[in-house]
Amino acid sequence: MPNTELPPLVVLVGPTAVGKTAAAIALAPAFGGEVVNADSRYLYRGFDIGTAKPSLAERAGIPHHLIDILAPAAPMSLAVYQDRANAAIADVIHRGKLPFLVGGTPQYVNAVVEGWRIPRVPPNPTLRHDLEREAAANGVAPLLRRLETVDPVAAAKIGPNPRRIIRALEVFAVTGEPISAQQGKGPAPYDALELWLSLPRAELYARIAHRVDEQLAHGLLAEIRGLLAAGVPSDAPAMTSLGYRQSLPALAGEATLAETATRIKTDTHRFVRHQETWFRRNPRLERIDVAGPDWLDGLAARIRRFLAERAGAVAPAGEGSGNV
């Protein structure tokens, strides 16, 4: 049932290459909508081809928020993203528009929709370096035991994950409180309609293969070469994106174009499986099969019904059979 005490939010998620961006661009104008990005790689300037970022022409008629807001080497934490996304959504709602939260980074989406409580502790480079050096010298087990003494709940949940162990120890060192006591879900901040765009695996993999071939044909390696020439470090956060890190050996003469394409496709398949694991854990998601010819009309009808329910007038069955 709708909760009209909360502001509305339409959420479009789905695996890489399923068509989230195109769906948002097609749907948003019909609802006075604006897009708030929830793809971690769209945040970075200069990373366009490999991320399949919507072009300036595609964005021209529909306001998009949180795209191209970071330099390539800039860090982005989950807490900062949550704050920026909530501010963008509030701005959209304040102007009487409907926010569409669109992307394939599940943690970003869930942090916003579920109101996650996230420790606001900035990274401590010196402490992190010391802990990383300790892990490299002695393995992760001593760090995990140290975490078990100050936060057994987090230690049991995290397991032997060095990055997350170091973050938990960092938060405890700064605040004196276990990270597990500072995390969790808060009250839902939005009345959210959460829609999961999906495709049969074989068809999705075919789309991924076509996209990768097109990206390589249209200058992905040249884009990366230009970024490196402009001083972007090869280990910058954005350079770890799919398509970019797999292309570095080719630029160094250590892999062929065909080998690069195969590696990008294989790693993208792995990432898609990771995304879908997250999506399956969310019982609120309504799955939309985008393989059929009329799926976009059906999606528009579902959004209209959501808005009608909020207005207290449920749309009649079969409504929305026309074009978007």
CATH code at position 27: 3.40.50.300
Q: Within this chain, do residues 98 and 174 fall inside the same structural domain, yes or no?
A: no
Domain boundary among 182, 206, 231: 182
Return d(Cα 65, Cα 58) in angstroms, integer: 13
Q: Within this chain, do residues 253 and 303 fall inside the same structural domain, yes or no?
A: yes
pLDDT on residue 323: 53
Domain boundary among 143, 158, 182: 182
Output the pTM of the full model.
0.87
Reading the block at residue 212, the tokens are 């990768």
What pLDDT, in 10s, does the model give residues 66-97? 999 999 988 888 999 999 999 999 999 999 99
pLDDT on residue 124: 86
Reading the block at residue 61, the tokens are 């008629």
Q: Within this chain, do residues 191 and 57 fall inside the same structural domain, yes or no?
A: yes
Q: pLDDT class for 293, splitting at 50, 70, 90?
A: confident
pLDDT on residue 324: 63
What pLDDT, in 10s, does the model give residues 206-261? 999 999 999 999 999 999 999 999 999 998 989 999 999 999 999 999 999 999 99
Packing angle, helices 125-138 and 141-150, rounded to 10: 130
Give the structural domain span for 176.
125-182
Q: Within this chain, do residues 176 and 208 fall inside the same structural domain, yes or no?
A: no
Do the domain assignments include residue 324?
no
Q: Within this chain, do residues 92 and 106 fall inside the same structural domain, yes or no?
A: yes
Name the phi and psi angles at 116, rounded to 5.
-55, 140
Q: Within this chain, do residues 267 and 216 fall inside the same structural domain, yes or no?
A: yes
Return d(Cα 167, Cα 182) in angstroms, integer: 13
Return d(Cα 134, Cα 139) in angstroms, integer: 7
CATH of residue 153's domain is: 1.10.20.140
Q: Residues 129, 183, 34, CA angle at the centre, nearest 5°?
A: 95
Q: Within this chain, do residues 34 and 144 fall inside the same structural domain, yes or no?
A: no
- Residue 234, CA distances (Å) to 22, 67, 136, 280, 291 in order: 30, 21, 21, 34, 38
